[in-house]
Structure 1
Amino acid sequence: MKKAVIYARFSSHSQTEQSIEGQLRECYDFAKRSDITIVGEYIDRALTGTSDKRPQFLKMIDESKKKNFEYVLVYQLDRFARNRYDSANYKAKLKKNGVRVLSAKENITDDASGILVEGMLESMAEYYSAELSQKVKRGIKESLIKGNFIGGYGLLGYDTVDKKWTVNPLEAAVVKDIFTRYRSGEKAKDIINRLNSLGIKTKCGKKFTMSQFARIIRNEKYTGIVRTGETVYANVIPPIVDEKLFRECNIIMDSHKHKQRKNYNEQPYILSGKLFCGYCDSAITAETGTSKTGKVYHYYKCYGKKMKTTDCNKKPVSQEFIESLVFEATIKYVLTPKTIEKLAKLVTEKFNSEIAKPTALLSLEKELKEINKSIDGIMAAIENGIFTKTTKDRLLRLEAEQSELEAKISVEESRSVKPLEVNEVKKFMTYFAYMKFEKGEEKNEFINSFINRVILYDDKVIILYNSNDREVKRLTKKQLREAEAAENLEEIKENSPEPCEFKRVALGGEGEI
């Protein structure tokens, strides 16, 4: 009696174990009718036939060398291989070992007509595989164009609602903050430590690591771009950061690839990039000095004076003194319950006013309303017995336009963000007001959150606080005069035609304010 092994496969999780059982049952019935003894089974689960990366299949091919069986029995030829090259290649290997492939479903003879039928069936299987691949790719493309989530890991800053990418405003603020801080020169390690100290988690609910930080900086999806292979789809996801910010951050990361690791225990200068000379408008930069006894001193010095590019005579100032002064002034004058309440309302109103329903969405909804009205009119005419070829063509055209508009509206809606609540902003600001800042990185986080720019004189300091962005702005002469003359925050906000948030603080004594 002839001996055979059965090879069975199902290619996706949408097929079930019943598929395998059905294939095996058909093969055993065929073997019984053909007086063939089954001596083994090789089964690959949830693997495609377009690749030879099928462990059980390859094991069967290898074990055919032992000549323990004369046939490989499959349910039908597309279970063996989905393209003619693989089929011919592996059949040749089996033939060399004295083994032939039989199909339980397709009764193929050994004569010339059988060879022709087998070739046609294999061609059809290959066509089906290629067509299915094209349909899958086409489906992915259409899903991406419509802004649909096509699977994979979640992304910090986004949620998926009804299979659409939607911006999570709180997470998006974290993402944008990461990019902004990194571009401003803050170290990746410091940003990561800040996030973890605040208890902010990744999308998977874990602490941030350097690799996760890099994945955020490198991820083009944050600019609205998705790549599949060599194809690029733009504006299919609501962007969180603009391309310029993304590009600049990646240039910084590229420049750090081959740099030697720096000592992270070095003294942090939390006002770096924010201090400016009130006399010559130069940046005030961090400096260190060593006394004869070997003691190291940390201070800030006018860069214009240091490089002798100006005639400035601004005196250096102790790092500890100026940082403490700015820190304590902010706590005392800005983060009061009254100010927090006021600022929380302003921030919420401004944010929510900017996320009002976009014009494009309003326009699309208006068009859809008109289309629906026209369709209702035609349906009413049909109900009254008026139905012609023109009516039919008109209805089909309107329904096509209706589907297209609904798809566009779905994309626009996915780009919308949720409004902020006043209490959310108040909690955020109150957290800073009552937090004990013992570590340098915690103070750095505080300064970056609130301080925009600090203008330093020998006898006073003007502090500008962040409003709706962190861009360091140059003061006009008029604003500078107003800041110097101001007695309090409210005076500037009420009297300046272009209000900035200033506080005039005198330097003196032991650094009291």
Structure 2
Amino acid sequence: MPAYRAAIYARFSSDQQRDASIEDQFRVCRQLAESKGWTIVRTFSDRAISGATQHRPQFQELLAEAKAGQFDIVISESLDRLSRDLEHIAGFAKTMTFLGIPIFTVAEGEISELHIGLKGTMSALYLKDLAQKTHRGLEGRIHQGKSAGGISYGYRVIRELLPDGSVTTGDRSIHPDEAAVIRRIFTDYAKGTSAQAIAKALNSEGIASPISGKGSGEWNPSTIAGNAKRGTGILNNEAYIGKLVWNRQRYLKNPETGKRQARLNPPDQWQYTDVPELRIINDDLWDAVKARQKAIRVKINPAGCLTAGLRPERARRPVYLFSGLVKCGCCGSSYTLINKTRYGCAAARNKGEAICTNRATILREDLEDRVITGLRDRLWPPKMVSAFADQYRKSYNSYAANVSAEREKAERKLAKTQSAIDQITKAVEEGMYHPSMIAKLTDHEATKKALEQELSSEPPAPTLRLHPSMSTRFKEHIHALSVALREDHLRAEAIEILRGLISEVRMVPDADARGGHQMELVGDLAGILQLSEGDRGKRQSIIAGGSVTLVAGVGFEPTTFRL
């Protein structure tokens, strides 16, 4: 054979293999070159990189130097060291053939098209079989309640020596310090704190993040919020409620980049395993977080349509206490900040007097103070709360009357159906059987079942409960709310509660009034009433009665509640 200039390529794919594997491959390849009289001019090696990808630094350098004519022949221990992908090895062989560079391996000798077809197919089947066996093994570990991959934040690995001398793998226990951080994250988020604000607070306190050993060690909002659909992020990790979810997604390699990309599996392929010993969060806190996430998604996409344009700005936290709630009492347009300190009608300023002539403005601090002070000082007197309760009773009684009427109608129809069934049954017992009776009996039984389901799904309206100390409770809660608005650690939750009670602040220009405006509050009657309930757990009467939105003050005073 000619005195070729030879290049050697070696590779191993697993971190668990030794670097000595590369030297072993180089040794046998050098022995082959010496036996053929070839001169080694270059060696290439990729460590701990799968042969399923061609995006290997040294492999790409091998291709570049081959095109530059730096050697005459390529040597490797076996064909699968060059690649385990049929398409890639065929492409590599085609390129080498075009360049006039033969491929030799210790295992197969000179590589031909037959080797490419057979060995390439065998390597591809090997990878597929390996993936299936790995998947099976991971599934078995999950069913045993063990970890099938990395360790989640909040847990630590348990290593125990077994009788046979081996060490346990996949066992975990709760990490107390990290579990406390997880509870804090869930609690703060449920109270209205954003993932970004939580991350900033954790970083400012120097609390180590889940990626402390892998990157900057800083908390990111994405680490906390993640992706609810894919189950990523601390707020979506169901292990924290004692449930392992496996096979939620799979990973595929992009053939162009070689990078793995996640693909969500159908829900019916997800597998669940209960691990109560790993529970960190109680169900109530978990449900509160899920409810807030859902509310944010609804704000972003109210229609819930995949084709609808998403509006992330709708879920953005309001900058000020009543941002977006202040309306012009003249035209109904929004009151917005016309400068850094004052609210004014947006329509009057942007669309002209043909739309609205209200040019009055008011200080933001003055508006906020008057609303909070008004709630605290004007709504609690007994005569107002009594009138409020009367208005609530009227709304509740209207709802209850509708429920009762529909229920009585269904009960009468059920009684009539049962009577028809009894008559047919009695006729059959007396020997008056006819085949048509079977069809009628079947229809009546189906009607009876549907009516019973309707009645069970729509229980009777509960008894209306109004706490006797409603006036005092209302005052206490409003006072506590006004205090919380001034406390940094409670402000986010307090703002969310207050904005949930007030749906609109109508600004009516009045030159003689304080700040040049009278104010009308539009609020959630049921929500305000809940503030005065003695037991916050007793909410059935509120929920069943519905949420009645009206001008706060209708029922409190003869006309409107103005501040």
Q: So what's the TM-score if we normalise by structure 1? A: 0.51
- 1:254 counterpart (283, 287, 297): 297
CA distance in 2, matches of 1:195, 1:463: 36
Amino acid of the structure 2 residue aligned with 1:323: A
Partner of 1:159: 156
Distance 1:203 1:135, change over 3 A: same
- 2:30 counterpart (28, 49, 54): 28
Amino acid of the structure 1 residue aligned with 2:28: E
CA distance in 2, matches of 1:293, 1:183: 27
Partner of 1:279: none
CA distance in 1, matches of 2:89, 2:185: 52
Partner of 1:130: 128
Q: For 2:54, what is the secondary structure of its paired residue?
A: coil
Q: Deviations over 1:177-214 (max 9, x none)?
A: 54455445555566667767888664567675533331
CA distance in 1, matches of 2:175, 2:137: 26
Q: For 1:251, what is the secondary structure of its paired residue?
A: helix
Paired residues of 1:145 and 1:236 also in contact (CA < 8 A): no
Amino acid of the structure 2 residue aligned with 1:40: R
Partner of 2:101: 99
Paired residues of 1:158 and 1:168 also in contact (CA < 8 A): yes
Q: For 1:235, what is the secondary structure of its paired residue?
A: strand
Partner of 2:479: 322
Q: Which moved more, 1:72-81 or 1:215-224?
A: 215-224
Distance 1:121 1:180, change over 3 A: same
- 1:175 counterpart (169, 175, 182): 182
Paired residues of 1:217 and 1:249 also in contact (CA < 8 A): no
- In the TM superposition, residue 100 of structure 1 has moved relative to its aligned partner by 1.6
- In the TM superposition, residue 54 of structure 1 has moved relative to its aligned partner by 1.3
CA distance in 1, matches of 2:49, 2:62: 15
Partner of 1:494: none
Q: Deviations over 1:205-232 (max 9, x none)?
A: 7675533331322334435223341252
Amino acid of the structure 1 residue aligned with 2:487: G
Partner of 1:142: 140
Q: For 1:64, what is the secondary structure of its paired residue?
A: helix
| Aligned-pair identity (%) | 25
- 1:2 counterpart (1, 4, 7): 4
Partner of 1:15: 17
Q: Mapping of 1:270-309 within 5 angstroms?
A: 294=366, 296-297=369-370, 298-299=372-373, 300=375, 309=391
Paired residues of 1:50 and 1:82 also in contact (CA < 8 A): yes
- In the TM superposition, residue 40 of structure 1 has moved relative to its aligned partner by 1.2
- In the TM superposition, residue 146 of structure 1 has moved relative to its aligned partner by 1.8
CA distance in 1, matches of 2:219, 2:293: 19
Q: Which moved more, 1:86-95 or 1:166-175?
A: 166-175
Paired residues of 2:13 and 2:49 also in contact (CA < 8 A): yes
- In the TM superposition, residue 133 of structure 1 has moved relative to its aligned partner by 2.3
Amino acid of the structure 2 residue aligned with 1:160: V
CA distance in 1, matches of 2:209, 2:294: 24
Partner of 1:216: 234
CA distance in 1, matches of 2:118, 2:130: 18
Distance 1:68 1:133, change over 3 A: same
Q: For 1:129, what is the secondary structure of its paired residue?
A: helix
Distance 1:246 1:31, change over 3 A: same
CA distance in 2, matches of 1:292, 1:148: 56
Paired residues of 1:182 and 1:188 also in contact (CA < 8 A): yes
Partner of 1:77: 79
Distance 1:440 1:207, change over 3 A: farther
| Root mean square deviation of aligned Cα | 4.9
Paired residues of 1:49 and 1:79 also in contact (CA < 8 A): yes
Amino acid of the structure 2 residue aligned with 1:129: L
Paired residues of 1:194 and 1:445 also in contact (CA < 8 A): no
Q: For 1:6, what is the secondary structure of its paired residue?
A: strand
CA distance in 2, matches of 1:78, 1:292: 72
Q: Mapping of 1:362-373 within 5 angstroms?
A: none
Amino acid of the structure 1 residue aligned with 2:171: K
CA distance in 1, matches of 2:7, 2:58: 12
Paired residues of 1:67 and 1:98 also in contact (CA < 8 A): no
CA distance in 2, matches of 1:25, 1:151: 36
Q: For 1:57, what is the secondary structure of its paired residue?
A: helix
Distance 1:190 1:77, change over 3 A: closer
Paired residues of 2:44 and 2:58 also in contact (CA < 8 A): yes
- 2:488 counterpart (438, 441, 463): 441
Q: For 1:259, what is the secondary structure of its paired residue?
A: helix
Q: Which moved more, 1:160-169 or 1:37-46?
A: 160-169
CA distance in 2, matches of 1:175, 1:64: 54
Q: Deviations over 1:373-396 (max 9, x none)?
A: xxxxxxxxxxxxxxxxxxxxxxxx
Distance 1:308 1:176, change over 3 A: farther
Distance 1:443 1:21, change over 3 A: same
Could you tell me which runs of 5 or more consecutive residues in structure 1 were left unpaired when the two chains were aligned.
269-289, 328-437, 449-456, 465-471, 478-513
Taking CA–CA contacts closer than 8 Å with sequence separation of 6 or more, which of the two structures ends up with the larger relative contact order? 1
- In the TM superposition, residue 69 of structure 1 has moved relative to its aligned partner by 2.2
CA distance in 1, matches of 2:364, 2:83: 82
CA distance in 2, matches of 1:201, 1:319: 40
Answering whether residue 101 of structure 2 is matched by residue 37 of structure 1, we say no
CA distance in 1, matches of 2:365, 2:321: 20
Paired residues of 2:192 and 2:492 also in contact (CA < 8 A): no
CA distance in 1, matches of 2:80, 2:218: 47
Paired residues of 2:473 and 2:533 also in contact (CA < 8 A): no
Amino acid of the structure 2 residue aligned with 1:175: I
Partner of 2:537: 473
Answering whether residue 272 of structure 2 is matched by residue 234 of structure 1, we say yes
CA distance in 2, matches of 1:262, 1:87: 54
Could you tell me which runs of 5 or more consecutive residues in structure 2 were left unpaired when the two chains were aligned.
160-169, 226-232, 251-264, 301-311, 324-361, 394-465, 496-527, 542-563
Paired residues of 2:9 and 2:45 also in contact (CA < 8 A): yes
CA distance in 2, matches of 1:326, 1:116: 82
CA distance in 2, matches of 1:35, 1:267: 86
CA distance in 2, matches of 1:476, 1:130: 56
Distance 1:6 1:197, change over 3 A: closer
- 1:90 counterpart (92, 105, 109): 92
Number of aligned positions between the proteins: 327
Amino acid of the structure 1 residue aligned with 2:537: K
